[in-house]
Amino acid sequence: MLSLYMFVMALLVVIELSVGIAIFVTKSRVLSLITQSLRSAESVYSSDHVAALAWDSVQRGWRCCGLYRYDEWFRYLGRSSLPRSCCVRYSSDCGNDAVQTGNFYQTGCASALSQWAYKAEITTAVLTTFLMSLQLLSLPLARRYQRILH
C-alpha cells in the first residue's frame, strides 16, 4: 500500500512540475495571442457587438483603456472619443468628454494583462512549490509511519 502511495505522490510531483514548466514556457505565446485578439477586436469595436462586449469587459475588469494607450481609440471612435468602459466614473456622456475631464483609465490593457500574468505566475509558482514540498515531505513520513505499524 505504501508503494502505491509513494508512486502516486511521485507522479503528482512530476505532473505539477510539468504543468508549471509548460505555463512558464508558453506564457509569452499566450499573451501574444490575447494581444492580437484584442487588437483585431479593437478595430471592429463600433460594428461588432461581441467585440465591444469583450473590450468593455476587459477595460472595466482591468481598469485600463486601449491596448497600449487610450488614444488608440481615436482611430475607431473619432477624435477624443473613448468607450464608456474607459471611464473611471460613469456618466451618460463620459466617453465623449473623458479626455477633457481626465475621467479615464491611463493604463493600457496590454500592460494590465502583463501585470496580471506576472502576479498569476508568481502565485502559481509559490502554490506549486508549497504543494510539492508537502507531497515530498509526506513520503518519508509515510515510510516512518509504516515502520511504526510493523
Structurally, the chain folds into a number of domains equal to 1
Yes or no: say if 80 and 99 are a contact pair by the CB < 8 Å rule. yes
**Using 50, 70 and 90 to split pLDDT, how confident is the model at 6?**
confident
Bridge partner residues of 87 (DSSP): 104
pLDDT at 97: 65
34-87 pLDDT, tens digit each: 889 989 999 899 899 999 999 999 999 999 999 999 999 998 888 778 998 999
What average pLDDT is seen over the chain? Answer: 87
Helices (H) and strands (E) in the chain, counts: 5, 0
CATH number of the CATH domain containing 40: 1.10.1450.10
Cell of 6: 509513494
User: What is the value of pTM for the model shown?
Assistant: 0.68
Give the whole-number percent of the chain exceeding pLDDT 70.
Answer: 98
90-109 pLDDT, tens digit each: 777 777 766 777 888 999 99
Cell of 134: 508537502
Yes or no: say if 83 and 42 are a contact pair by the CB < 8 Å rule. no
Q: What is the spatial distance between Cα 19 and Cα 109, in angstroms, rounded to a whole number?
A: 27
**Using 50, 70 and 90 to split pLDDT, how confident is the model at 145?**
confident
> Which residue matches cell numbers 511521485?
10
Could you write out the DSSP letters of every residue in 4-47? HHHHHHHHHHHHHHHHHHHHHHHHHHHHHHHHHHHHHHHHTTTT
Which residues form the domain of 60?
A: 2-149
Report the 10 Å Cβ neighbour count for 106: 13
